[in-house]
Structures are given as C-alpha cells and as structure tokens.
Chain A
C-alpha cells in the first residue's frame, strides 16, 4: 500500500477495536507505551484474534511511531479521535488551555484592523476554528472531571486513604475548577467568555454592513459560532459551578471530618494529643446549698479515686470482732423474770434488745445459761418453733426455766 486511505484506517480500527482500546488504555495519559508492554499486548491479542496484528502494520497505518527511547507513541490524530471514541479524555492543565486560547485575542484584534477582504476571511475562519477547538476542550475537561469526581465519591474503597481523597479533591479544585472558572468568568475582561461577547457584538453588526456578500456570509458564520459557543459554555459553566464544585467541596469537607475523627480515634487515650480540646458540655448539675469552692475541692478529691475503677471495696464488717453476751448480766435479767415460760424465745428477745446481729454463737452463749446449776429447766411439749438468726435458722423446743427453790 503506497497511500493510506481513510477507509483502510477505519477498517483497521474496526477489525482491531479491542486491541486499539487496550493500547489506548495502557498508554494514557501521555499516549506513550513501553516497547515491551506493546509487544506483550500484541502477542496476547494474536492468540485469540484473527486477522492478527503486527508492529509493522501498526506503523503502516500510522497508529504508532517509535521514539528514540524505543517507546511507542500514539499518533496525535488517533489519540484525539480515540478519546472521543471511548469518551475518555485526558485532563489538560487550565494554564495550557489559557495559553492556547490567547490567540483568539490576537486574531480578533487583527480582524478589527484588517482591510483586505481575503485576509479577513482567513482570520474569520481561524477564529471559528479556535472557538471550536476551545469548546471541544472545555467539554472534554468538564466531562472528565465529572466522571473522576463521581468515582472519587462512590469508590470509597479505592480512596480509603482519606488524605489521598482530600488531596485529590483539593488538587482538582485548585488546579482545574478555579482556573477554568477564571477562563470562563463572564465579568473578567481577559476571559475567553468576554472575548466571545466582544466578537458577538462586532459580528452582529458586520454580518449586515460588511462590504461584500462573501464577507457578510463569513461574518454570519462567525456570529453563529459565537452564539452557539456562549450557549455551550453556559452549560459547561453550570456543570462546573452547580455540580462539580459543590461535589468536590463536599468530598473535601467530608474527608476533613473523617480525617479529624480518624486522628481523634487514634489518640483517644491521650487527650493531650487531641490537638484541639474536646467539646465540654456540662454534666447534670444538681442545685445544692454548698458554695462552689467546696464543691470543686470535694469533686477534685473524689475524682482521685475515680481513676481506680478496678479496685473492689468490700463492705466493712461492723462486727468483725465477735463479742459474746455477758452471761452474768443476762442471768440476772433471767432471774428477775422469776419464771420464764419459753426460755429459748426469751434468749432471742433479750439479745434483740441489744443487737440486731444475733449470730449462732451469741445465741448459744446465752442459751448455755440453761446449764447453770441454780436454774431449773422443764421440758413438756414436742412443739418446735423456728427462730431466724443472722447466720442460721434453728428449730427450738419450748422450755420453762425458773430458779431453784432452794434459794
């Protein structure tokens, strides 16, 4: 094949669509691919596809050219078309865009002063082209930013590193959205948008008053392009300012909150490392008639013990030193009674007058009085009553006790 035809190129793209897509993806964003990777791609593709592809063929259709470094670079015309084809655009820094479109001002200044009709026509055609390419670029940028922002928002997993997410959002806002806004800013005299307004004013008149029909026709085309461009730019601006900017701001502020919380959780045991003091809403304050200094001092004192939460305090045993009833005293009391109908109950009642903690040992030390020689015990019935002591319940018989008559 001596001359490359359009049909042949389209056929090549159609036959090897999958390969082209892979080659495109691997070489983004600069469209340069490593020699080895390319060979591997070709090899893999050829295993399952017919007709096969070769490096020679790729160079023949001017898809690739080899760089002195042996890497391969996709031809710019293909790269642009493929970006459009796969709806996958690379981002240009707005500075680049700005530089690229400064020409519009120069061309327009030249147009206003040009007197030759032939030169005027060329200038008009050039301005139309510049506007067109500009629109295309802005559209690509906006689309790309929207897609990336959506993915940043949705794929929390992929961007689980908060600082990266934040960094990306901030980077896009600072490096793309803001400068793009400036380029498009309506009120700014040096913005592309105000250039369009100027051209529109100029051509709206010229399309009727120009010297020749041909010139009128050219001015009309330019007028139409400019009006169309303004509508397109308005739509893009809306996407940028109403969708993209709030979305990125949101990602930015959400990531800030999450990273702040992250720091807090990591340092939760070290309040000094919180960096900023934690909110300190007051606790429930009971109104009490003590003055503040006393209250805070008492709280300070009590707080010292609050740290020792693991300590266990046992209830103090009030009667740890077991005392036993003074049997002499109780014997006197017993003798005063003259005759006791129910001795065991009497012992219980007598003890109860002195303590609520009637233990088995206290009770028995008192009932031992029964063994005193000068007392007589009479036991008549089988009846039993239950007495609940502190450490036991006992069943006791009814026993009469009185002093020996010999007294």
Chain B
C-alpha cells in the first residue's frame, strides 16, 4: 500500500464536498506537491477532474449540470454590471473588497436584471450566500461577505466567452 499524507482524509472529504481549496491553505500545498498522484486518484476513484489553478483547487465533472453554479455566475455577472454602472472598479471591489450583505441584496433587487435573479436561488439571498460559503467561494464576517480567490474561475469563464465571441465575429 502506498503512503498517504496526513491530511489525505481532509483533502478528499473537502473536495468531494464540492469545496474549493484556496491558497495559502496547507491542504493546497500538499495537493500541489502530490499533483500527479491526486489527479490520478480522483479520476480513477470518482471520474472527477482535479483542477489545480494558481490560487485554488477544485474538483469538476462534465456529468455535473448544476443549476446552482449557473446561479452563482448570474449573481456575479449582475453584481459586476451594477458595480460598473455605479462607477466602481468592479474587479478590485470583487477581488479585494467586502460587501454588506443587506446592501448588496438591495443593489441587486434594484437592478433591472433582478427579474432574472429572482427566479434563481439568489432570491433567498442570505441562504444563497451561506451555501457558497460552504463551498469556500465566499467568506462571511458578521454582516459582511467577501469573495475568495476562487471567484477568478468565473471571471475567466467570462473572458473565454468574450474571446470566443470575438473569434466568431472575426470569422463572419
């Protein structure tokens, strides 16, 4: 039998819980050191892809079609839009700043895009925030919350869409 690191159990259970492991968590570095082993472990045991990004690690699966991830992306998209409209530097605010939970809910409710959000899990805002805290995408501190570095995954998604669209429009 091979030897497992002492945090093995924690690593596996956190990742299988759908959590992001964020640097500088010690788990992050353990996985990074044993990257090849863990990639193989998760694909062979669960058919899940282990994604090691510069600042966070998470499991993904093509078979997963989760509406909650869609909801989170919607939430982030509309929050970015509202911040940009109010003249704020949305990326700095999201990557570095913190948000008042009630004020943010109010900001979203006043958005013309609320009609989309209200049909999603975002409509129960406090519950929504707590759900994503359990995935390590959000940290809550009293009445405030902030995004963890894992939020960059969703920014990258937006960049990929825009670049793909640009390519398409160049073809046409």
Contacts and interface: CB of A to CB of B under 8 A. Distances in A.
Note whether A and B form a binding pair. yes
B84 A260 contact: no
Interface in B116-147: 116, 135
A260 B158 contact: yes
Interface in B96-125: 113, 116
Interface in A239-283: 253-254, 256-265, 268, 271, 274-283
Contacts of A278: 69-70, 73, 157
Contacts of B18: 281-285
Interface in B57-87: 58-66, 69-70, 73-74, 76-78, 80-81, 84-85, 87
Given A260-B160, A275-B165, A268 B65 contact: no
B158 A280 contact: no
A263 B165 CA distance: 9
A59 B138 CA distance: 68
Contact of B161 (A263, A283, A287): A263
A383 interface: no
A154 interface: yes
A347 B101 CA distance: 60
B63 A279 contact: no
A282 B61 contact: yes
A346 B90 CA distance: 75
Nearest to A267: B161
B154 to A, nearest CB: 7
Contacts of B78: 261, 265
Nearest to B91: A254
Contact of A253 (B70, B87, B135, B159): B159
A157 interface: yes
Interface residues of B, number: 48
B70 A268 contact: yes
A113 interface: no
Interface in B155-172: 155, 157-165, 168
A157 B85 contact: yes
Nearest to B167: A275
Nearest to A155: B87
Contact of B66 (A160, A262, A274, A280): A280
Contact of B80 (A253, A261, A283, A284): A261
B158 A282 contact: no
Interface of B: 15-18, 20, 46-48, 58-66, 69-70, 73-74, 76-78, 80-81, 84-85, 87, 89-91, 113, 116, 135, 153-155, 157-165, 168
11 contacts: A156-B87, A260-B165, A261-B76, A264-B161, A265-B81, A275-B164, A276-B160, A280-B60, A281-B64, A281-B135, A282-B60
